[in-house]
Every structure is written in structure tokens, then in C-alpha cells.
């Protein structure tokens, strides 16, 4: 029989407040597995069977898709030399080369335009929504990939940093116009338990009827303290600019992370790929 206490414990650790679940709720085991998701950046020296990577890719591509347009693809990076080049685009990820497998999830609006040509139909929808739809499809598949990997005992870590070098990644992967790298996903057999990353409290992110953030600062201050008590943010960023903080919480870390330009050329890259972002 499913144990609701295990799910409640995972949610309490994740959010810092209770989200009690009725013991008779169907699917408690699946909910618990999702709630207990752990991030992994340390992997055993053990390969991942290519057939298994293909299987979890198929499961992920079973995800919902906006208007059934299926504007997302997965590139499984198998060639060792190509893998080295892709890894080199993400130099801050020192642990990445030890990950046995790397997948790249892509947004793809190319097929949509192709079948309009094949079927002799106009395409009057060349605007921002096309990029948004493809990016959303890619995001959904990335989430399902993470869950599929976890279901078979694999650990993984998404890599949005690949977009820092989107043009080079696109060239290396042979991505044509209207196809773009959304995120990488490092996958392997975990070398340790990983960790449950605390999330903002539900009072901050779950709203009823109307959005509200009148006390968001106090909520985030509390979250900073709770998260720091579980695991620290690690090395402080930009100490030479902002000094060394007596207390370095999550919000300070994220404020420093985005206090310097990042991916300022991504919009230009997407436009060169053929998207009109009006």
C-alpha cells in the first residue's frame, strides 16, 4: 500500500510547508517519485545503453504537444569527438565530461513550414508565437525526459547553459534554420544520492483566483534562510564587484548571476535561424 507520509515528507522538505494528501488518492507512488526527484552531477563510470536512451526519448516524446504540432526533437550525442566539442561549449560545468550520456533537446518550427510548402498552403503566422510554441514543446519534452530517466534509475541534470553558445552548438549539431538548441541533458547512473533542491514556498507560487505578491519579499527572505540551512549556495559570485556577503542566500546568488549580461545575442541568433519575433 502506498505511504502518504513519504509524499508529505518530500513535499515538506521541498517547500517548507505542508501539502497534506489524502491517503486514498490514486497514484501516490507516482506522485512520491516525482516529489522526491533529485539533481545529479556525479555519475558512476558505467555506460548508458543506447537502446535505453532511445527508449526514454520515445517516452518523453509521448508528452503533450501544442496543437499536436510536435515541434521538438532530441539529439543524442554519441560521437566521442562531437561530445568533447559540445562539452567544451559549457566550460563552467567541470563535472560534465564525466556524464556518460548527453542529449540536446531542440525546438523545431521547420517541419511546420515544410508541410505548408508541400500542401500549397500560405503561412500567415510568422511571428513570436511560433518561436514560443516550439520552445514550449521543447520545455515539456525536457521535463518528461527527466522523469523518464528517473523512472529507470538514471540521474540527470538539465543544461540551459548550452544556449550561451547557441550558434556554435547549432553548427556542431547540424541544426538547420528554424531549429534551435533549447537545453542539454546530462544523463548517467548516479554515483551518490543526489539532493532534493528546496523550492519557493507554495504561498509564493500557487495562487487562487488572483495573483498576489504583496508579501513576496518576506517569503523569499524566509526561503533563503531555509534553503541555506539545507545546503548552501556554494562559492559566492562576483566578490570583486559586490564584496563577500555575511549571508549569501539563493536570492543574492541569483541576483549576482544575472547582474552581468548573459545570452544577449540569443535573440539575434533566433532571428538568424529564421524566426520573426514581432
CB neighbours (10 Å) of residue 14?
19
User: Is 70 exceeded by the pLDDT of residue 1?
Assistant: no
The grid cell for 60 is 518523453
DSSP structural state of residue 39: B
pLDDT at 189 over 60: yes
Contact indicator for 79, 112 with CB cutoff of 8 Å: no
**How far is it, in rounded angstroms, from Cα 145 to Cα 105?**
9
**What mean pLDDT, rounded, does the chain reach?**
95
Q: Note the pLDDT tens digit of each residue in 30-60.
A: 999 999 999 999 999 999 999 999 999 999 9
Domains in the chain: ranges and CATH: 50-194 (3.40.109.10)
Residues near 56 by beta carbon (within 8 Å), at least 6 away in sequence:
145, 148, 149, 151, 152, 154
Identify the band that residue 2 occupies on the pLDDT scale cut at 50, 70 and 90. Answer: confident
Look at the block and give the residue holding cell 527572505: 221
* pTM (two decimals): 0.95
pLDDT tens readout for residues 167-184: 999 999 999 999 999 999
Amino acid 17: pLDDT: 86
Amino acid at each position: 500500500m502506498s505511504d502518504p507520509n513519504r509524499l508529505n515528507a518530500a513535499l515538506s522538505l521541498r517547500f517548507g510547508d505542508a501539502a497534506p494528501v489524502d491517503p486514498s488518492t490514486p497514484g501516490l507512488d507516482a506522485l512520491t517519485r516525482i516529489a522526491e526527484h533529485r539533481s545529479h552531477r556525479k555519475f558512476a563510470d558505467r555506460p548508458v545503453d543506447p537502446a535505453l536512451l532511445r527508449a526514454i526519448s520515445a517516452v518523453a516524446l509521448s508528452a503533450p504537444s501544442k496543437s499536436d504540432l510536435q515541434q521538438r526533437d532530441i539529439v543524442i550525442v554519441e560521437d566521442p569527438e562531437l561530445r568533447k566539442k559540445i562539452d567544451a561549449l559549457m566550460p563552467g560545468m567541470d563535472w560534465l565530461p564525466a556524464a556518460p550520456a548527453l542529449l540536446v533537446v531542440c525546438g523545431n518550427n521547420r517541419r511546420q513550414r515544410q508541410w505548408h510548402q508541400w500542401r500549397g498552403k500560405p503561412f500567415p503566422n510568422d511571428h513570436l508565437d511560433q518561436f514560443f510554441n516550439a520552445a514550449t514543446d521543447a520545455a515539456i519534452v525536457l521535463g518528461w525526459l527527466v522523469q523518464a530517466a528517473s523512472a529507470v534509475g538514471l540521474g540527470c541534470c538539465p543544461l540551459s547553459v548550452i544556449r550561451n553558445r547557441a550558434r556554435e552548438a547549432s553548427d556542431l549539431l547540424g541544426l538547420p534554420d528554424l531549429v534551435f538548441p533549447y537545453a542539454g541533458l546530462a544523463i548517467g547512473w548516479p554515483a551518490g544520492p543526489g539532493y532534493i533542491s528546496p523550492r519557493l514556498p507554495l504561498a509564493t507560487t500557487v495562487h487562487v483566483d488572483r495573483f498576489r505578491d504583496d508579501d513576496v519579499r518576506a517569503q523569499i527572505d524566509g526561503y533563503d534562510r531555509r534553503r541555506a540551512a539545507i545546503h548552501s549556495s556554494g562559492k559566492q559570485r562576483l566578490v570583486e564587484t559586490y564584496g563577500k556577503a555575511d549571508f549569501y542566500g539563493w536570492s543574492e546568488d541569483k541576483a549576482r548571476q544575472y547582474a552581468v549580461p548573459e545570452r544577449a545575442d540569443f535573440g539575434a541568433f533566433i532571428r538568424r535561424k529564421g524566426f520573426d519575433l514581432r
